[in-house]
């Protein structure tokens, strides 16, 4: 009887990985160990991506969009409750990046976002099919989960990287989401050539207790990632209460990781003569310069 040898991914997901990591940390320190681990993980992800017909097809699509929108402006729309305080109708004539379940607002908005992005495991596993069928011209999702859930080939997969870098190239750098799909959308906007990115609906504040985070799912003691929870009530964190309504699984936010990713994006844009501004109404994020939404869209008399 022949015995199959475990592949790299299987080894890295077993307790063997944790034992190796513990020994390595004790010798060279945590930060260097993390970087080595991320590099090895990224090497595997790259081979996984280019080794699939879908990954190669998606890379070609992305390459075809490089700098297609050079010098233009894009709005990256978060899904915070502040969207309800804004007149979004003028965005029908703008380039827009939507994310996750923004499609729940399409009927009320009267338009579809130009692009639709999804990165998180639980978003894609629960709502990936709905996103794919939302009608957007360009739909992007993490390669790690889109193929697993057998989503339509119209969905373009992104090479999701473990190493925290700003992705300039969809194939060799990939995209590191830094804990939020908004960061991935910003990197796509850069690659597509947009010179100005305007954030709206990025409230950067979550209620993480009570019914919306009613049930905490178990995880290993060594897992430092934020808790994964199951909602048991209405969602106060998004533009509609059924966004993460009862029964929806989601991961609590990691504010530090998010802000580091935003800072990398801000610095990268500025180094190349571009800019990101934040027009969120009442948002808590302080990484980007604040601007008045009414002025940005030309509705103010000032």
**Segment 187-209, tens digit of pLDDT:** 999 999 999 999 999 999 999 99
> Into which CATH architecture does domain 21-206+253-296 fall?
Alpha-Beta Complex (3.90)
Residues ≥6 apart with Cβ < 8 Å to 247: 230, 231
User: What is the model's pLDDT at position 211?
Assistant: 92
**Segment 60-118, tens digit of pLDDT:** 999 999 999 999 999 999 999 999 999 999 999 999 999 999 999 999 999 999 999 99
Task: Please indicate, yes or no, whether the overall pTM of this predicted structure exceeds 0.75.
Answer: yes
Taking residues 229-251, report their average pLDDT. 96
**20 pLDDT exceeds 60?**
no
The closest of 220, 200, 170, 221 to 285, measured between CA atoms, is 200
**44 pLDDT exceeds 80?**
no
What whole-number distance in Å separates Cα of residue 92 and Cα of residue 97?
A: 12
What whole-number distance in Å separates Cα of residue 256 and Cα of residue 225?
A: 12
Q: Where are the domains of the chain?
A: 21-206+253-296
How wide is the angle at C-alpha 52 spanned by C-alphas 48 and 56, nearest 5°?
A: 105
CB atoms within 10 A of CB 167: 27
- Given pLDDT bands bounded at 50, 70 and 90, which one contains residue 54? confident
115-118 sheet: strands from edge to edge: 155-158, 138-142, 115-118, 95-99, 73-77, 196-200, 275-278
User: What is the model's pLDDT at position 3?
Assistant: 47
């Amino acid at each position: 009887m022949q015995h199959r040898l475990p592949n790299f991914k299987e080894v890295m997901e077993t307790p063997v990985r944790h034992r190796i990591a513990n020994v390595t940390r004790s010798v060279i320190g945590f930060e260097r160990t993390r970087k080595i681990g991320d590099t090895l993980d990224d090497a595997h992800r790259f081979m996984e991506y280019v080794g699939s017909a879908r990954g190669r097809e998606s890379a070609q699509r992305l390459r075809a969009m490089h700098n297609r929108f050079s010098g233009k402006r894009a709005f990256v729309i978060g899904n915070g409750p502040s969207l309800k305080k804004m007149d979004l109708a003028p965005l029908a004539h703008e380039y827009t990046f939507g994310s996750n379940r923004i499609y729940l607002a399409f009927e009320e908005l009267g338009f579809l976002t130009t692009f639709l992005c999804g990165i998180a495991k639980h978003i894609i596993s629960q709502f990936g099919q709905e996103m794919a069928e939302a009608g957007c011209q360009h739909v992007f999702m993490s390669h790690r989960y889109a193929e697993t859930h057998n989503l339509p080939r119209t969905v373009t997969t992104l090479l999701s990287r473990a190493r925290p870098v700003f992705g300039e190239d969809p194939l060799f750098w990939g995209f590191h989401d830094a804990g939020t799909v908004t960061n991935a959308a910003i990197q796509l906007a850069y690659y597509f050539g947009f010179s100005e990115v305007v954030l709206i609906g990025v409230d950067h504040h979550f209620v993480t207790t009570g019914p919306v985070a009613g049930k905490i799912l178990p995880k290993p003691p060594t897992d430092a990632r934020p808790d994964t929870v199951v909602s048991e009530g209405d969602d106060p964190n998004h533009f509609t209460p059924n966004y993460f309504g009862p029964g929806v699984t989601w991961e609590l936010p990691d504010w530090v990781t998010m802000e580091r990713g935003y800072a990398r994006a801000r610095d990268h844009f500025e180094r190349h003569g571009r800019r990101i501004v934040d027009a969120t109404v009442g948002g808590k994020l302080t990484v980007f310069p604040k601007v008045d939404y009414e002025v940005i869209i030309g509705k103010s008399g000032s």
